[in-house]
Structure 1
Amino acid sequence: MSEREHDETTRPAVSRPRPAPDTAPATGLRKELPAEVPVSASEPAEEVVPQERPEPGPTGRQRLVAGLWPPRVTRAQLIVAVLLFGLGFGLAVQVASTSESDSALRGARQEDLVRILDELDDRTERLEDEKQGLEKQRDELENSSDQAEEARKQTLEKARRLGILAGTVAAEGPGITMTIEDAKGTVEADMLLDAIQELRAAGAEAIQVNGVRVVAETYLTDSGNGVGVDGNKITAPYRFKVIGKPQDLEPALNIPGGVVQTLEKEQATVTVERSTKIVVDALRAAKRPDYARSSSQ
């Protein structure tokens, strides 16, 4: 064994102190971090400005309102809106007129409703009688031995009836007399025309107003303080002579909302009288048509 080896083996072992575990790492961390900057007492500390939060966006309802208002109307939408408005207005007017007519009957008394039904039954019966009369004439023509003579009689009878309707011949028979007193001067031509139309619908065969014969082509106009009938001025009181079935004519004038009620609303006084004999003697000159000709010629 050499001296060196002998010294190393015989030399006592010297223990080296280990560094503290918290000093070396702390020294290394301190080197990595930036040096702390001391804050002077005289310098104010920097203010920390808080970050502003973003404002919330619009809600779904707000977006819906913004999309609907203000409205953006196109030409097609405007046309459709006008058409719908016109349709709605027409329906409203029709419903209102229907409601008025229904309310007049709804508010009528039981006696008035019974009278209206009787009038309708009488009109149906009158049309049925007319039908039977025409069928009788046809049977007489077919079964008569002297058809020429029978045809002549029927032709004369038909001419007489047509003369009454045309106003070229006088007529008499049962009917009514209606007198309209108009002290306020509120009766107009259209009111008298409504009365004539109602009488015709109830089966009037001849009508005369203040000496003027009423025929198919009769027209009425307002004329100052009176009414013009076919160019002839008449004044109140207006007196109607009507030939027909009194049981049909009078109820037709007195129905709820009819002629008498309308005239009384205008502060006119209406009097209707039945009679077994009414004479209608006002005549109209026979007028030859300018263009129409009989198709049998």
Structure 2
Amino acid sequence: MSNHEESAENRLRKELPEEVPAAAESTEAVDSAAEEQSPQLTGRQRLAKGLWPPRVTRAQLIVALLLFGLGFGLAVQVASNSDGDSALRGARQEDLVRILDELDDRTQRLEDEKQGLEKQRDELENSSNQAEEARRQTVEKEKQLGILAGTVAAQGPGITMTIEDTKGTVEADMLLDAIQELRAAGAEAIQVNGVRVVADTYLTDSGNSVSVDGNKINAPVRFKVIGKPQDLEPALNIPGGVVQTFEKEQATVTIERSDKIVVDALRVAKRPDYARSSSQ
């Protein structure tokens, strides 16, 4: 390569960087000229350009569909009501009277049915209450009869009478008199040394002791009696009565009042062999 060609290439390399900015400056000049030539947009135009074309998201589309469905349903309902009202408005007077009569008859039937149901409810409640009261009275009566028959235990106010017979002079008839005196004074339950006294109780002499319903009674003889203490004790202490009779036989009698006497000796209920209820 000659020296002339090398000096020409070097000049080209030095001049090339200076041409590039010149080209860029020309491009900017063209853009600015284009902007000067294009018309300026107003605020309303820029707003319209931002709103259209619309950019709809998926959530907005779903909400729009739901609102459309709701509006359609309301429109159908209003149209249906309007049709019904228009049908009544277009009905004849005779038809309107007939419709009102049917409504009155239906209302009356419903009212009668309501009263009938209320009456049945009251009858059921009364019958239930009566049945419950009858069951309660039956249970209470059974307890009372059980106390008299000696099949259930009993407790209540009463007295305890203890007879000390060291010489064995107390006999069956003396104890029987004491039982009868207590019953006459209002005794409701009597127990003698672990033997329940009932309507068919019997007493017998057994050597120097007494047997109650076949059970030998050893001294001391102890009566546990349920009843009113203010009536029971005086009935035993009357002149010539039970206490004085025992004392004549050199037996010692002690009577104690109590607010709670427990009679827990029981008898086995027996079924009669021949007697039956007359209501059967």
Under a length normalisation based on structure 1, what TM-score does the superposition of the two structures give?
0.51
How far off is 1:144 after superposition? Answer: 9.1
For 1:9-47, what per-residue CA distance to the aligned partner results, in whole angstroms no more than 9, with x for missing partners?
A: xxxxxxxxxxxxxxxxxxxxxxxxxxxxxxxxxxxxxxx
1:269 aligns with 2:275: no
Equivalent residue, structure 2, for 1:203: 186
Match of 2:143 among 160, 165, 169: 160
Equivalent residue, structure 2, for 1:212: 195
**Does the aligned pair in 1 maintain the 2:182–2:232 contact within 8 Å?**
yes
Structure-2 separation of matches of 1:183 and 1:195: 19
1:136-155 to structure 2, matched below 5 A, reads 146-155=129-138
Q: Which runs of 5+ in 1 are unaligned?
A: 1-142
For 1:45-79, what per-residue CA distance to the aligned partner results, in whole angstroms no more than 9, with x for missing partners?
A: xxxxxxxxxxxxxxxxxxxxxxxxxxxxxxxxxxx
**Does the aligned pair in 2 maintain the 1:221–1:227 contact within 8 Å?**
yes
Structure-1 separation of matches of 2:244 and 2:205: 21
Under a length normalisation based on structure 2, what TM-score does the superposition of the two structures give?
0.54
**Does the aligned pair in 1 maintain the 2:169–2:208 contact within 8 Å?**
no
**Does the aligned pair in 2 maintain the 1:225–1:235 contact within 8 Å?**
no
**Number of residue equivalences:** 155
Structure-2 separation of matches of 1:174 and 1:144: 38
Tell me the C-alpha RMSD between the 2 structures: 1.5
1:278 aligns with 2:261: yes
Equivalent residue, structure 2, for 1:296: 279
1:248 aligns with 2:231: yes
Name the aligned partner's letter for residue 293 of structure 1: R
Structure-1 separation of matches of 2:127 and 2:268: 36
Structure-1 separation of matches of 2:273 and 2:189: 25
Larger radius of gyration: 2
4+ runs deviating over 6 angstroms: none
Greater percentage in helix: 2
How far off is 1:148 after superposition? Answer: 2.6
Identity %: 89
Name the aligned partner's letter for residue 207 of structure 1: I
